[in-house]
Chains A and B, each alone.
Chain A
């Protein structure tokens, strides 16, 4: 852990609001991306990402600095996502794959670089692929979804995923294989 991170943690433990804003600045987009890819719904993703930061702030004294702060943060995020997925499943909420008209309209503003008008076909292709992939991820069961989002979307190492999920190396790898296999089957006709 860097000295900068230690100092930020110290200030967070002292309930320094500016430190909290720095923490948000550093991690909000990545946490939001994880929650969005896990839940497939912007409103849910935003709500869960907010809860993640509130939890982190409330329980910062429980962080023992045995792992990287980001690892702990992603663990909190993953746990919140799992809880929300269970909650949504209980409510029989089938509206996870929110890539509806509203989100399409918002894509230019909230997702990456703006789509170039000069390449409408490629933009459409990209948007279709985006939708297809998000649907395919959403159809994975949550244990598989977690590992594939952390590894292939967020590019975290297997070791870090083990720390985040608390799973042994072999389990993470086998879930990753199965998730990729399932995604490959779903995308086979389109890619």
Chain B
């Protein structure tokens, strides 16, 4: 600040700060902008608010840009590999989300196909044998199967 505006140290109305802040952000319509410019040029409080906000903003934008450490990339990719046991990098067959619905439908269809083949196969375990003959055969009835001595 080259010029020491009047009322140094006295509080400035928050509304003045808000308008000057908007003015500095270029967020005011042209008529309001001209109004603020006029007040900054003539009113000591507005002038002080403007000077202080400009200085604050310049100080903030002048902060040095912190740079990530040199090992940053390696650490991030290392962490990804560690946490995913190396599975993260490299395309996944099914993508990130497992399509449980689709997998269930495919499994059911496969079961149906397998069931059908087992049923129609001559040797399949689901093949029904010939119906047992309900009529008694010769020698059946009350005759003992094992002759008594």
Contact = CB atoms under 8 A, between A and B. Distances in A.
* A is bound by B: yes
Interface of A: 14-17, 20-21, 24-25, 28-29, 31-33, 36-37, 42, 45-46, 49-50, 53-54, 57-58, 61, 107, 110-112, 129-130, 133-134, 137, 148, 151-153, 155, 158, 173-174, 176-177, 180-181, 183-184, 187-188, 191
Nearest to B24: A180
19 contacts: A21-B73, A28-B68, A28-B73, A29-B65, A31-B68, A54-B76, A54-B79, A61-B97, A110-B66, A110-B69, A151-B25, A152-B61, A158-B25, A173-B18, A177-B17, A181-B17, A183-B56, A184-B52, A187-B59
Main secondary structure of the interface of B (DSSP, over half): helix
B21 A176 contact: yes
Given A15-B89, A158-B25, A174-B18, A53 B76 contact: yes
Contacts, number: 125
B56 A20 contact: no
B96 A28 contact: no
Which of B18, B27, B56, B72 is most buried by chain A, counting CB atoms within 10 A of its CB?
B56
Majority-rule SS of A interface residues: helix
Contacts of A36: 66
A180 B17 contact: yes
Given A137-B60, A184-B52, A191-B55, 20 more contacts: A17-B89, A24-B73, A28-B68, A28-B73, A29-B66, A31-B68, A32-B67, A32-B68, A49-B68, A54-B79, A54-B80, A111-B67, A133-B63, A152-B57, A153-B61, A173-B22, A176-B25, A180-B57, A187-B59, A188-B52
B53 to A, nearest CB: 6
Interface string B6-34: 00000000100110011001010000000
B92 interface: yes
Interface of B: 14, 17-18, 21-22, 25, 27, 52-53, 55-57, 59-61, 63-69, 72-73, 75-77, 79-80, 83, 88-92, 95-97
Given A15-B91, A24-B76, A173 B27 contact: yes
Contacts of A107: 64
A37 B17 CA distance: 24
A61 B52 CA distance: 45
A184 to B, nearest CB: 5
Contacts of B65: 29, 33, 111-112
A110 B53 contact: no
Nearest to A148: B60
